[in-house]
Amino acid sequence: MSNLPRNGPRYATVLPTPNAQEVPAMRRLVQSAAWAATVLATTMACSFSAGTSVSVDKDDLAKEISGQLEKQVGRAPESVECPENLKGEVGATTRCMLHDGGETYGVNVNVTKVDGSDVNFDLKVDDQPQ
């Protein structure tokens, strides 16, 4: 007589568990994928003086990008840096850098509309880190 259960043999699937070194790498991969190819449209009110053109301050732009990414992805990146102010002119562009988890992604910013002191722009995070 067999010691097998009456309904036939039972099989268990044993999945390997990741070791401690693999877990942070997997976490980074998931977080990196969250930034990749993020595309957002946003509006930002800007300040300007009479006789000067409208522009978005580079530090304010970096904060806005970080805030918009937090809304989209669920958390803000470690930092965002923009090299220059963004001109408040349709078609104006700049390229900022997103830093997170030891990786850096480029962020392309493109002005799509200007209405008084409101500047609308799209941003797109690169598909791959640099």
Task: Write out pLDDT tens, residues 86-126.
Answer: 999 999 999 999 999 899 999 999 999 888 888 888 888 89
Strands (E), the chain: 39-45, 55-56, 79-81, 86-87, 93-100, 103-115, 118-125
Tell if the pTM clears 0.85, that is, is over it: no
CA distance 24 to 37: 22
* pLDDT-based confidence at residue 58 (cuts at 50, 70, 90): very high
Residue 104, pLDDT score: 94
Task: Answer yes or no: are the C-beta atoms of 103 and 27 closer than 8 Å.
Answer: no
What's the mean pLDDT when you consider all of the chain? 74
